[in-house]
Every structure is written in C-alpha cells, then in structure tokens.
Structure 1
Amino acid sequence: MKESMRLDKYLADMGVGTRSEVKGLIKKGKIQVNGTIANDYSRKIIVGTDVIMYAGEEITYLEYEYFMLNKPAGVLSATEDKHAKTVLDLLTTSKRKDLFPVGRLDKDTEGLLLITNDGALSHALLSPKKHVDKMYYAKVEGMVTEQDVEAFAEGLQMDEEWRAMPAKLKILVQDTISEITLVIQEGKFHQVKRMFEVVGKKVIFLKRLSMGPLQLDEKLMPGEYRKLTEEELQKLKESHS
C-alpha cells in the first residue's frame, strides 16, 4: 500500500516552502495535482502515484537523501550555527530540510562526511556496539615510531576513566613531520588528536578517508559533495543490517 500524506506536508518536506508559505501558494492556485489546480492544502496525496506540479516542474517525493561531502576545514559539522558556516550550508541541491551530518568532524578536520535524514542508518553507523571502522590520514609533528604503532594496537589509556579501543596505526612517512593512516572504531571528541597527545605528538592536519564501507570520492574537492550511488548505499545498509 502506497503512503498518503497531506499536500502541504508533501510540498514542505520537498523544500518548496514552509507550511505557511506552501498554503499561500495553494491558495493562489500555484500548485497542480494530476493536471488540475489544487485548492485544498489538506487534501491527501498518494506518494508515487499523484503528480504534483509547481512552477512548471514536477515535485517528486524523496523520503530519504544521502550525500557524501568532502568537508573543508573551517566549517562546522552541525545543522545550523549563528556565527559560522555549517556543512548544511554547503548543500545547495538537497530537497529535504531535515538533513543532518552523521557524526561530526572537528572544525579544522577535512574529509568524508555522510549527510542524510535517515536516522536508523545514522544510529547504526554511530553506535559503539557496531564497531564501525573509521580511517583517517594525518600529518603529525614528531617522529611516529613502531612503539607508537604497538601502543595504539593495545589501546591507549586516555585518562583515568577512558581506555581507547585498539587502533590500527600505519606509518607512511617517518620524519620530523610524519604521515600516517589510523583506523579507529570510536568517535570521541578530538579523539585522534588526543591519542597522539598521549604519545607526545601533535596532529597538524587531519582528514577522514572512510567510514565503514563508504570511501571518500577522490574526485571531490574540499567543499564539494554528491549523492551516494545505489551501490554505496546498499553496501552501507548491508554492513549494518
């Protein structure tokens, strides 16, 4: 059985306007349903069957949207902020108005961020019980050693109450500025930076490369985004079903 919903909710969900703005458009005869002008904002629409038109365009209903963003530094992983640009400000082609970032990256951290309105998928990816791998690339001030690799693999004692889960540290460049990849399964506040502080080093650049089976598209420049492919979405859902 196909879902039905009020016309004003349908249009508001798809970003045509707020509920009150949408009602105004309907009163002015700006909305058509199945080729005739709609005049009742409370009428029921059969999603996927009825054809809704506004300004010469068909308004198709999307229950969920999924975007991969290459988050740039200097942007907040938040839905809104009065003083700073957020990741949602970068999404100019989304239909839904209830999108949110799945987890967060620090303001100065770059890389993969999934943005959606699918709460169930978000919960599955962020749940500590699911142990979802998250891979980061970092530049680190200080010589990263095999001792660090072993310490990360054992799980670092972060403070009196928190011992980090075992993490996979791989050294790419070993120098005064080292380059590494790190796979963790947690996502605590400033976690990667704090882990390196425990071993006496400082992260000076951080970028997330993957989250579960989802890998950052190398073609996306910082600040660019695209919809997830069907294959990517299927892999995400299968990995947490």
Structure 2
Amino acid sequence: MADTIRLDKLLGHTGWGTRKEIRELCRSGAVAVNGMSCRDSSLKVQPGRDTVTVKGEPVSYEEFYYLMLYKPEGILSATEDPHARTVIDLLPRQFSGAGLFPVGRLDKDTTGLLLLTNDGQWAHRITSPKKHVPKVYIARVAGSVPGDIGERFAAGLVLDDGLVCLPAKAVCSGEGELTITVQEGKFHQVKRMCAAVGLTVEALHRVRIGSLSLDETLTPGTWRSLTETERDAVFRSPETD
C-alpha cells in the first residue's frame, strides 16, 4: 500500500492555507476526495492514488520540488524578509506551504540562475565546497584586467579577511567582461575575488551550475520545474556532457 498522509497536511503542503483554514475549508464542503465531499481534514489519503480537489480544482502533491528561477535584480535570496521582496514571493500559491528555500544565495543586485527546493540533502550536495560543484558567472567589471588573472584565480586567491579561495577560473569573454567559475559560495565571493585583483564588479549574472544552464526562455522573475535529468545535471561538469 502506498504511503498515506493526512488531508490537511497534503493541502497545507500545496498552498491551501493553515491547518485551521483547511479545517474550515473542509467543513464548508469545498474539498472532495475521489469525487466525494470530505469534511474531515484529518482523513488519511494516498497521494498519487486518491484524487483530491478543492472547489473542483485538482490538487497535485509532490513531496519534493525542484525549481529553476531567473532571479531578477533587487530581490533577496531568502525565504522571508519584513522589508523587501524575496525569491519565494515570486512563486505562486501552490508552493507557499511546501517549505521551499533558495539553494545558496545570490546577492540582491545579482541576477541569473537560482535553484529552489525543499530537499535539504539535494541542496547540500550543491552548496557544499567539498562537492566541488562549479558555478559560472558573467561579470561586467571596471578597471584594468590583469594579464595573469587566470593564473591568479587558479592558484587560489587570498581575500582581504584572510580567506583562501578554492582554485577558480577567470577568462576574459569581452570588453570589460569576465567569465568566472567558482566551486564555493562565500559571502560576496566573486565581487571580493575581483577586488583582490584590482577590479570592481558592476554587474553579475549567474549562467550555470554544474552542467545545468539557465533556460534561455525564462525572463527575470519567472521559473519552471526541473526535469529529473536536470536535477542530476548540477552534479556533472560541463566537460563531461
């Protein structure tokens, strides 16, 4: 028999409100299980087998969610903030009770590929420096790019606070533009690494994690679910694809 879950937990996970709100929703007759009105929010149901609807709208349950978001400028990589909008605020109601969080973070003024999930183990594999998952950024910089910048990044830069960075890559990809690959995500790391070689980052955009690239069809603030293949792609180096 498939695993069962309380109806109120399933509806809370899929964004239908607090337990109290869901209890009232059931009592109102708005919830049906397998076509029959259900007024008992504690009923056990089997996701994938039982059909649950709210006001005639089918409820689709997944234990874990894996999303790709094109993070826009000016949005915090956080789950909540009393003063500013967060990446969670960009998602629809269906994810409001699922406990999603950003995998790592991008600075408020940094744009590009950000992953969101409620799978802590998957997220840890991506963010842990020990896993050496590469993250690729396009940086627009001001200043004179050193001729040996590639060698200096590869050797492991020492930042102003004494932090020794893991070996990284920096390649000139245009006038005043660098493609930078790092294996970790310390606070303001890419900006601080550039500062260590005399450069100021004017704009920063993340384009890839592992071999997973930002979907070119997404626009700032939009998102889509990852396929199973894409969920694995973050752990592969682009050179192996």
Task: Work out whether the TM-score is over 0.5.
Answer: yes
One-letter code aligned to 1:110: T
Specify which of 205, 214, 220 is matched with residue 216 of structure 1. Answer: 214
Offset at residue 230 of structure 1 (A): 3.4
Instruction: Look up the match of 1:131.
Output: 132
Asked whether the equivalents of residues 65 and 96 of structure 1 are also in contact (C-alpha less than 8 Å), the reply is no
State the alpha-carbon separation in 2 of the partners of residues 197 and 238 from structure 1: 29
Distance 1:41 1:160, change over 3 A: closer
State the alpha-carbon separation in 1 of the partners of residues 167 and 236 from structure 2: 25
Unaligned 5+ residue runs, structure 2? none
- Pairing 1:33-72 to 2, within 5 Å after superposition: 33-72=33-72
Offset at residue 159 of structure 1 (A): 3.7
Offset at residue 237 of structure 1 (A): 6.5
Distance 1:223 1:125, change over 3 A: same
Instruction: Look up the match of 1:100.
Output: 101
Instruction: Look up the match of 1:188.
Output: 186
One-letter code aligned to 1:127: S
- Pairing 1:127-206 to 2, within 5 Å after superposition: 127-159=128-160, 161-174=162-175, 178-206=176-204
Q: Deviation per CA, 1:133-160, whole angstroms, max 9, x where unpaired?
A: 0000011101213222211111111146
Distance 1:160 1:83, change over 3 A: closer
Q: Deviation per CA, 1:108-141, whole angstroms, max 9, x where unpaired?
A: 0011000111111101101121011000001110
One-letter code aligned to 1:22: I
Instruction: Look up the match of 1:228.
Output: 226
Q: TM-score normalized by structure 1?
A: 0.92
Identity of aligned residues (%): 50
Distance 1:160 1:39, change over 3 A: closer
Offset at residue 93 of structure 1 (A): 5.9
Q: Deviation per CA, 1:21-66, whole angstroms, max 9, x where unpaired?
A: 0000111222111222112221211121111121112212111122
- Secondary structure, aligned partner of 1:106: coil
One-letter code aligned to 1:157: V
Asked whether the equivalents of residues 121 and 237 of structure 1 are also in contact (C-alpha less than 8 Å), the reply is no
Between 1:99-108 and 1:218-227, the stretch displaced more is: 218-227
State the alpha-carbon separation in 2 of the partners of residues 161 and 201 from structure 1: 18
State the alpha-carbon separation in 1 of the partners of residues 234 and 20 from structure 2: 37
- Secondary structure, aligned partner of 1:146: coil
Between 1:91-100 and 1:46-55, the stretch displaced more is: 91-100
Instruction: Look up the match of 1:74.
Output: 74
Q: TM-score normalized by structure 2?
A: 0.92
One-letter code aligned to 1:86: T
One-letter code aligned to 2:128: S
State the alpha-carbon separation in 1 of the partners of residues 24 and 47 from structure 2: 22
Unaligned 5+ residue runs, structure 1? none
Q: What's the Cα RMSD here?
A: 1.7
One-letter code aligned to 2:106: L
Q: Deviation per CA, 1:139-190, whole angstroms, max 9, x where unpaired?
A: 110121322221111111114642111111101124xxx1110000010000
Offset at residue 94 of structure 1 (A): 4.0
State the alpha-carbon separation in 2 of the partners of residues 61 and 73 from structure 1: 31
Aligned length: 236
- Secondary structure, aligned partner of 1:10: helix
State the alpha-carbon separation in 2 of the partners of residues 197 and 234 from structure 1: 33
State the alpha-carbon separation in 2 of the partners of residues 69 and 213 from structure 1: 16
Offset at residue 92 of structure 1 (A): 2.2
